Structure 1
Amino acid sequence: MITLLTSNAAKYAPFADQLERLRIQLESPKAPLPEIQTLDFAEALAAKARRAAERFGRAVLVDDAGLTLEAYPSFPGPLSSVVIQALGVAGLRRLLAGLSERGAMECHIGGWFNGVLRSWSGRVQGHLNFSKPPADPKMILTEIFVPETPSPAGALSHRERALAALANDIFELHLDANTRDGEPNRSERSGQCVFCDELEDETVSVFGEILGDRLASRIVYEDEHFVVMPPLGEFMEGGLLLLARPHIPSFAFLPDQLYEHLERLLGAIGRALTQFYEARPLVFEHGPASQWSKGGCCVDHAHLNIFPARVDVHPHLAARMSLRVDSLAALARFRPAEFGYLFVQENDGSRRVYDGRDAPAQLVRRIVTSALGRPERGDWRDYPGCDELIATCKALRGRICL
């Protein structure tokens, strides 16, 4: 979790669900953070964020919000609470007598990360309405400021917009902040691994038990680093698994020098599937990023699922934190992370990594099978897909060439 310090948690109450999704916890500082007297939001936020990081021994989020008046540019800005306390609503009204009552509410959220301020802002235009006295002395501006765009009761769009801006970068902040010292053993194997068993001896594997009398091997490509074969539970012909030959928990733990090889192999598989099945493949991995947090994958051994299925997965995962990535090598960032991940390469080649927290086993598989109109094939145990597996082996063996 990332901490957001605030002395008034009520102002974030309308955004409780969003904060939960972003894994942000509110905390009230035990003692007020020193605030410098300035009309510059960035300067005020930087000072507060730096002091908060010093106090907590790590980067935490802080916020600063306030009103800027059209009649007095930049004022009161970061000094809004002081000015409101000193003048009151009546004094503020007198200050604007004969002048424009228009202005803007601004919210700035920031943290002191690696010696620099990172910040996210939201701003909304509106006007002050003095016709009704505010009922809550802690939420005066919320009650007298009328935004041009509608907002939920008790909330102002400036804070909503600042949180939306933060949401674009929050996954990356978690990766930077929520790490542990050291890295787990990449090749550590806890208990039995069905993939390792099969690679060692296909005759005594789960595959051998199910299909050994019909097919001696399901491997369609192999080299010293990777193995490609159709999965048990083949819900459509053409589906493949790309496995790391050594036992590693996910492709986040692939040795760095092998990512280029993995990219070339994935490209070769894509060309073969496109040529034979006339569909650019969908690729996904559900893996634990570390030994501290197991993912929801069925087998804790690095494997990419590859299917010639025309399905747009992102709309089904959009509510999760995500990060766009350009290369498979970017998965290495997840080695020390506390949480598992979902990697998805869409049919158009775009790639995202999603927060894998609380993701059930076979989540993406279930999304795909439902989109294809085959929800009954969502669990490989319910649909072993033996005929499709054999057909895939016959179609693709010898067709994947680097």
Structure 2
Amino acid sequence: MTITGEIPSRLADDNAGFSNIKKSIPCSFCNGFPGLEHLVGMPIDDITILRTENFIVIPDIAPLLEGHILIVTTKHYPCFGAMPPEHLSESIAIKRQVKRMLTSAYCAPIFFEHGPATCDGLAGACVDHAHLHCLPVEREFFSLIAPGHNSEQISSIAQLAEYTKNGFSYLFYESLEESLRVYPLKAETDDIPSQHLRCAAARIFSISKWNWRDIIESPDYEKVMRPRILKAVDLLRCTVTE
């Protein structure tokens, strides 16, 4: 596995980018993030923070806070728990690198994921392509997650595969102290609303607008969000070479 912050003029290598994904798949992540490119006004190469053979780190299209970024799989899986074991192992190193970067540029991050077991919108996911949110914060919000649902502590993100294998969707949360919690969800008891984790974070930080769809349609997106995204990309890219 090679982690690099060097961004090529185009992500043309099948093992580095998304050209190995069939364009017929109706997934904006597989098709190279056209929405993000359009809104930010740059090709995805120019706003990619980090990449490996199986992962790409990019800014969130509607960051809740400056420095809000995503770790995205280069191949299409519904969640991290559905990835091959070797990819899950690699994700641990990626997550560790991202934590160092965010801590250097902003502050320590929490990580969270809506983990649908299949590509059908379960677990509050509105994009069925595996992506882990990385949010630099100074306060936790796990107390607001999935009220009425049980949670379990795990020791490694690699254990998410056990839930997916057994037919569970899940919510995943990693605290500032690196405590990992999973909220297992069976289809018949999955009442998690769309973007539940974004909403929970917004409540803690008194952010009035948390729905990414509303944010990207906001008339001040270009004036407010675009500079926030580009500043974060520049700062985080600098930390890659430190």
SS in 2 for 1:344: strand
Pick closer, same or farther for the CA change 1:354–1:401 going to 2, 3 Å. Answer: farther
Q: 1:196 corresponds to which residue? A: 30
Give 2:129's aligned amino acid.
H
1:258-278 CA-to-partner distances (Å, cap 9, x unmatched) read: 22221111011111111211x
1:156-206 CA-to-partner distances (Å, cap 9, x unmatched) read: xxxxxxxxxxxxxxxxxxxxxxxxxxxxxxx999951111111xxx6xx11
Q: Structure 2 residue aligned with 1:307, among 106, 119, 135?
A: 135
Q: Structure 1 residue aligned with 2:76, among 224, 243, 247?
A: 247
Q: Give the deviation of 1:386 after TM superposition.
A: 2.0
Q: Structure 2 residue aligned with 1:381, among 213, 226, 236?
A: 213
> What is the correspondence of 1:113-132 to structure 2 with a 5 Å cutoff?
none
Q: Structure 1 residue aligned with 2:162, among 333, 342, 345?
A: 333
Pick closer, same or farther for the CA change 1:292–1:273 going to 2, 3 Å. Answer: closer
Give 2:198's aligned amino acid.
R
Structure 1 CA distance, aligned partners of 2:128 and 2:23? 9
Pick closer, same or farther for the CA change 1:401–1:192 going to 2, 3 Å. Answer: farther
Mean Cα deviation higher: 301-310 or 283-292: 283-292
Mean Cα deviation higher: 389-398 or 344-353: 389-398
Q: Structure 2 residue aligned with 1:234, among 42, 63, 70?
A: 63
Q: Give the deviation of 1:340 after TM superposition.
A: 1.8
* Structure 1 unaligned spans of 5+: 1-186
Q: Is 1:286 aligned with 2:120?
A: no
> What is the correspondence of 1:37-76 to structure 2 with a 5 Å cutoff?
none
TM-score where L is the length of structure 1: 0.48
Q: Give the deviation of 1:361 after TM superposition.
A: 1.3
> What is the correspondence of 1:355-394 to structure 2 with a 5 Å cutoff?
355-356=184-185, 357-376=190-209, 378-384=210-216, 385-394=225-234
Pick closer, same or farther for the CA change 1:389–1:293 going to 2, 3 Å. Answer: closer
Q: Give the deviation of 1:374 after TM superposition.
A: 1.1
Structure 1 CA distance, aligned partners of 2:103 and 2:116? 29
Is the contact made by 1:239 and 1:305 (CA closer than 8 Å) also made in structure 2? yes
1:321-345 CA-to-partner distances (Å, cap 9, x unmatched) read: 1111110110011223344210000
Q: 2:39 corresponds to which residue? A: 210
Structure 1 CA distance, aligned partners of 2:150 and 2:24? 29
Q: Using CA pairs below 8 Å that are at least 6 residues apart, which structure has the higher relative contact order? A: 2
Structure 2 CA distance, aligned partners of 1:213 and 1:344? 31
Structure 2 CA distance, aligned partners of 1:229 and 1:355? 27
Question: Bigger radius of gyration, 1 or 2?
Answer: 1
Structure 1 CA distance, aligned partners of 2:24 and 2:172? 23
Instruction: Report percent identity of matched pairs.
Output: 28
Is the contact made by 1:341 and 1:354 (CA closer than 8 Å) also made in structure 2? yes
